[in-house]
Structure 1
Amino acid sequence: MNVGVYTTYKRVDNTVSVSGSANLLVINYSYGDTGIPTIAHQIDISAYSGWGEALKGIIKAQADTPSRQEEELEGVEDEDLSDCTVESSSFPAKAISPLNSWGTGESFFDSNATTSGDVALCATRWNITIANGGQAPVKAAYKLKQFRCDNATAGRPNAGCVVPWFPSLLTYSKTSAPDLVRHVTLAQQSGLPGATYEAPLERSTNEIVNTRNRDLACGDAPSIVGKSCDEYPFATTLNGLINMLPPRIRRTFADCDLPNIPSGTTGPKAVSICMIPVADQNYQGGKNTQFYRAERMLHGDPFRVGTVA
């Protein structure tokens, strides 16, 4: 939400004085869907107090997307340039008066990231103009650049859009996989990342990284009938052992069937391993795949891990 002041002036005998003022609230937000390459940007404007000539002002608005040249002048790197186009824009002209009445605009933008393998950000903008008789027009712009659209997510045949910086939550059920939940909980309690917005995990789609993470964490795990080695943070993250400087630290916990791995250690720079039932491991693999696909998780995207009953 933004707060603005619109002020009008008058000149009498070469003396300029204020002839009116209005305090404005501006609310603008964008929304999208993981299944379609279209983003909406809505804006709501209202004056909550004011007086004089300012109350005669008329608010008009038009949506667009910043040009490549504009973004380059702002110092935006090539890989972060916006790539989407306006599909539609509507904002019926709104008089400032009466107070506490809202003017609403809605616009839609189509991402150009529709060819297989494409990934692109989308910047959206509302350009506001307040006109008022002989007063000089007042202009303001409200820009959002929250969404990334892609047609590069494994298992998703169509393009869609997400907010890439927001760490979505992957949850495991204690009822479905009790040993997995116990291990994740203990690992996070020992200081390993993934439980909070401030310290999320980061997705890896690099199979070389993922394989090496598994080998470093569980390559020497014992062979136990009905059990499999579980590592946290996952091998499919950038938080695994391959990205840690030696000595690469592993930790474990009681009842994890790993007597040669230290237990009781804490801190964020390590990987926890535990032997858990194969059924729990299979459950985890399915949940992770579904989550990565549903949230359109690309390489480096943040996410959190939690548990439910």
Structure 2
Amino acid sequence: MQNKKIITNLVFLIVLFASAATVAGIFSTGGSGEYEYRSIRGQTVTIHGDGLYQDMSADVAIQGIAQDCVTLFIAIPFLLVALYRFRVQSLTGKFLLAGVLSYFFVTYLFYMNMAMYNVMFLVYVALTGFSFFAFLLTLLSIETDQLPAIFSEKAPVKFAGGFLILNAIIITLLWLRVVVPPLLDRTIIPLEVEHYTTLTVQAFDLSLFLPFSIVAGLLLIRKSKYGYLFAPVYLVFLSLLMLALIAKLIAMSMDGQNVIPAIFLIPAIALVAIVCTTILLRNINTHHHV
């Protein structure tokens, strides 16, 4: 298989660099502890003041640590399993690998752009690059013309595609709930901006990742070859991302923050995403090497 060695090497680099980044995020210490900071907008923000994320707001820092735990203990082992499946030329393995690589790409794209500058900056840059090119090469290794014939006629394309569209709508509404009210009352800046420059997660989601969920869902419902390509990958990515969000919500709840309605919506999305991923991949006809 073309580029197998390159993809394998990139995956091992991701494992190495992500292990270093997550261990640093979870276990690093040092700093003055929590303190209050007045932002350029006059907002009082509680700063975490400890470890790698010491310059981040306390509520965001604990979310970063929670996601680091998911990345270290779930996503990295999953990546190695997916690589093994990929190397034996399993189509399911290609979908799994592309999906988990997209999780690493999105995760460290956000870390690179949102995390307050720290000693791991170049590690985040490297992880974003490694995961992007490994993802691209993995996706290009799939022969799209054969996909409609390889998936079973019983594959739940309408359900899975409809779910991808619904997921995008739900998350869009959650983010607009943050962005729109300040525009209407002319305060302009949401409190969630805190001492950061902008709403990075919402910006990437609303401009790129949520529209892609809608497109993948529509293409899958139409049984397009690109729907069969993008939807399984997105579902794998979404399953991992929702697990990370659940960990973040748990950390926020333990910190006394309000996590409603997300605490009900995110686990439901995670469950359906995992079910859709499992059923869709099980509807791949065996013994195909695409």
TM-score bracket relative to the smaller structure: under 0.3
TM-score, normalised to structure 2, is: 0.23
Larger Rg: 1
Structure with bigger strand share is: 1
Higher relative CO (CA 8 A, sep ≥ 6), structure 1 or 2?
Answer: 2
Higher helix share: 2
